[in-house]
Amino acid sequence: MRLSHVLQRAVRYFNPTARFILNTPLHPLMSRRLMLISFSGRLTGRPYTTPVSYVEEEGSLLVPGGGKWWKNIETTPQIWVRLRGAWAAVTPEVVSEPQALSELMRRMLAANPAIAQFTGVKPGPDGWPNSAALERERRRGFVVVRLQLDEANLASSPLQYRRAAYK
83: left (phi over 0), alpha (psi -120 to 50) or beta: beta
Share of the chain above pLDDT 70, in %: 82
Per the structure, the complete domain to which residue 42 belongs is given by 5-161
pLDDT surpassing 60 at residue 157: no
**85 within some domain:** yes
Lowest mean pLDDT among 1-10, 83-92, 119-128: 1-10
pLDDT at 43: 87
Share of the chain above pLDDT 90, in %: 49
CA distance 47 to 108: 28
**84 within some domain:** yes
Looking at residues 137-141, what average pLDDT do you find?
91
Looking at residues 116-136, what average pLDDT do you find?
92
**59 within some domain:** yes
What's the pTM?
A: 0.81
- What is the overall mean pLDDT for the chain? 84
**116 within some domain:** yes
List the one residue out of 77, 65, 50 whose CA is nearest residue 161. 77
**62 within some domain:** yes
Q: What angle is formed at CA 51 by the lines to CA 72 and CA 1, rounded to 5 degrees? A: 65
pLDDT surpassing 80 at residue 148: yes
pLDDT at 67: 79
CATH for 72: 2.30.110.10
**166 within some domain:** no
**119 within some domain:** yes
Domain count, the chain: 1
**167 within some domain:** no
